[in-house]
């Protein structure tokens, strides 16, 4: 520890946020506030609908309900702080607040990776083994898969947190981002970050590539089954049950790959910041719409509850 005695230890960081657009502060604040409120209300609405309508008490909607809950938590880790920073002259955040923000953000992100893979397996079981679907996707297994996703995400992020807390920060303390993300923290550290980078790469392989591989294998079997259906109407109907999940997977993993695989230098920092907006705020808002717009069962459930509501009013 003696080698750090002559260095100043950083206890606070400055989040630049969107300070490069000072003329658009009110506009950006209004946009992000609207997105946050819509995200929370739409996801809460979807959870409420699934919980209240007995026709939606199936494994698919159980997973979707948990995905909506994760999205509410996910966006709530980032957005409130980002919104409050718009009108602060000094956008400072303590080292401990910064690390904990990243810990919870990472935990939820890794959990969502696993949950999306579990949802792909659910679609595989429903389409490729329809007669055994109820037996395969038992309530116990569904709970275990969700619990396993959350615990895996927490454990993976906790390992990163332990390594992150060992780093020293003694130089610049300005983070060119709207939240504390690991790549930016590693750039500011004056410690050897090799171990944490290796650890992060391993976790990326385990959670990212393993989840994507599980999704690809599941959809490989699904596509094979769909192609064996003789009726074009049957093929279309079966594919529509997977289209929403495929869209959500593409958006989530696509934006994450761009940010964490793209070099963090020069103009790419601003590009990463803009892409980060996609997976931290936009995707959690879009997920309820993605899973609802082309979903006949959810539309029918909404119609039933509208009839009940109006029958009560009149």
pLDDT of residue 8: 56
How do beta strands 92-94 and 174-175 pair?
A: unpaired
> Is the pLDDT score of 4 beyond 70?
no
> Is the pLDDT score of 6 beyond 80?
no
Q: Are 32 and 18 contacting, i.e. CB atoms less than 8 angstroms apart?
A: no
- Mean per-residue pLDDT, 8-23: 84
pLDDT of residue 172: 85
Q: What is the pLDDT of residues 49-95, one digit of tens each?
A: 999 988 899 999 999 999 999 999 999 999 999 999 998 888 889 99
Which domains are assigned to the chain?
2-313 (1.20.1070.10)
């Amino acid at each position: 520890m003696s080698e750090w005695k002559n260095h100043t230890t950083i206890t606070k960081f400055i989040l630049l946020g969107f300070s490069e657009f000072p003329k658009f502060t009110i506009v950006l604040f209004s946009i992000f506030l609207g997105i946050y409120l819509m995200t929370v209300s739409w996801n809460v609405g979807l959870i409420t609908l699934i919980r209240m309508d007995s026709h939606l008490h199936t494994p698919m909607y159980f997973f979707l309900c948990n995905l909506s809950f994760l999205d509410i938590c996910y966006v709530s880790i980032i957005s409130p702080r980002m919104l409050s920073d718009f009108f602060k002259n000094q956008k400072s955040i303590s080292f401990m607040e910064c690390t904990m923000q990243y810990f919870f953000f990472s935990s939820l992100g890794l959990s969502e990776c696993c949950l999306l893979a579990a949802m792909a397996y659910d679609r595989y079981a429903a389409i490729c083994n329809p007669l055994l679907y109820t037996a395969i996707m038992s309530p116990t297994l569904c709970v275990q898969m969700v619990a396993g996703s959350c615990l895996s995400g927490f454990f993976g992020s906790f390992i990163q947190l332990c390594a992150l807390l060992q780093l020293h920060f003694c130089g610049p303390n300005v983070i060119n981002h709207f939240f504390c993300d690991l790549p930016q923290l590693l750039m500011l550290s004056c410690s050897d970050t090799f171990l944490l980078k290796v650890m992060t790469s391993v976790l990326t392989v385990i959670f990212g590539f393993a989840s994507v591989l599980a999704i690809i294998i599941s959809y490989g079997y699904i596509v094979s089954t769909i192609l064996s259906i003789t009726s074009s109407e049957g093929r279309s109907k079966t594919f529509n049950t997977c289209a929403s999940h495929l869209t959500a997977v593409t958006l989530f993993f696509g934006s994450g790959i761009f940010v964490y695989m793209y070099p963090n230098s020069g103009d790419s920092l601003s590009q990463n910041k803009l892409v980060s907006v996609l997976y931290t705020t936009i995707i959690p808002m879009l997920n309820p719409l993605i899973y609802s717009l082309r979903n006949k069962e959810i539309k029918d459930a909404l119609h039933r509850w509208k009839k009940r509501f109006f029958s009560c009013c009149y």
